[in-house]
Amino acid sequence: MFAFCTDPSTLPQWQWFACYLTTQTHFAFYRSFFMVLLLLAITAPVALGMGLLGALAVRSRFLPVSWLGKGYVNIVRGVPDIVFFMFVPIALGQGIEWVFHHIQCPDWDQPIRQGNDFIVCREAKVPPVGAPAWVRDAYAFTMAVVAFSLVFGAFAANTLHGAMRAVPRAQIETAEAFGMTPAQAFRRIVMPQMWVYAIPGLSNIWQILVKATPLLFLLGLQDAVYWARELGGQKTSLYTYPHPDWRVWYFLVLLAFYLFLTWLSERGFGALNRSLSRGQATAEGERLRKAAA
């Protein structure tokens, strides 16, 4: 990056580090933190939306829909997360290629399943053969969002369903006595109040989601943990910037990043909980009323 970086072996220490920390691999390391934040920013609302749909399905009086919601919640919660992180991209990717294969190559006369191999025609490959690196990264990132959303959507569904049931039944009965339909009572009474009861559980799910982001390497993404291991490992004379084993320093950077993100999340959820608790018949709402008196 700097003009004096042509021969690192002749540089004084501060210039050596200036060159070392501005290599292309280090910029990839810095971008990986942005990728983690982008994953969280996209996955959190998607998982929350799936959780809301799952909670509504569990709550449904139509048995097939209720069974579907309960099946989704219980199966995902009962299976280790890492299994879904590995299964979803493979199953979904092969499903997409299977559909494209039948559309693009209707004259294919060979079986798709050949032993342990899944073979489709060249035109059905996803991402396409010869696609640039950013397309492959975008595909892997999309698969990561789907996998994370499925897993954490199930946990959110369980939390939101419990929050819906925590709203006092007497308020719903009063609303219906004033002429509201069950749908109107749910929309005007249950939905506004359930978030007070859901926030503690959702904050825990968010923290678990944050801690799960290092599993991105399982989906083929070069995340911050991958680069910390690669850049911190001991280098040889084959590298431009040889150094001892510095993995501990790189992982300390990751530690600081995740601790700061956790601290910031706790502050945010605390402020949100105080805002939603104002005027509510909860312990936090009572504390706020007493503090304002």
The predicted-structure confidence for 52-64, as pLDDT tens digits, reads as follows: 999 999 988 889 9
Please provide the average confidence, as pLDDT, over all residues in the chain. 84
Considering the domain boundaries, does residue 19 fall inside one? Answer: no
Among 25, 27, 69, 77, CA closest to 240: 25
Considering the domain boundaries, does residue 9 fall inside one? Answer: no
Considering the domain boundaries, does residue 214 fall inside one? Answer: yes
Burial category of 42 from C-beta neighbours within 10 Å (exposed 0-12, middle 13-18, buried 19 and up)? middle
Alpha helices in the chain (DSSP H): 13-20, 24-59, 63-78, 81-104, 133-166, 169-177, 182-185, 191-212, 224-232, 247-277, 283-292
Q: Which residues contact 139 (CB under 8 A, 6 or more apart)?
A: 126, 127
- When pLDDT is cut at 50, 70 and 90, the band that residue 175 belongs to is confident
CATH code, 213: 1.10.3720.10
> What average pLDDT does the segment 62-76 reach?
91
Q: Given a cut of 90, is residue 118 above it in pLDDT?
A: no
- As given in the structure block, the two tokens for residue 238 are 């084959």
Query: Cα separation of 139 and 126, whole Å?
Result: 8
Considering the domain boundaries, does residue 104 fall inside one? Answer: no
Range of the domain at 283: 24-78+136-292
Considering the domain boundaries, does residue 238 fall inside one? Answer: yes
Considering the domain boundaries, does residue 16 fall inside one? Answer: no
Highest mean pLDDT among 3-17, 88-102, 188-202, 251-265: 251-265
Q: Given a cut of 80, is residue 45 above it in pLDDT?
A: yes
Q: Given a cut of 80, is residue 281 above it in pLDDT?
A: no
- When pLDDT is cut at 50, 70 and 90, the band that residue 228 belongs to is confident
Number of neighbours of residue 245 by Cβ within 10 angstroms: 10
Considering the domain boundaries, does residue 5 fall inside one? Answer: no
Whole-structure pTM value: 0.83
Considering the domain boundaries, does residue 124 fall inside one? Answer: no
What's the number of domains the chain is made of? Answer: 1
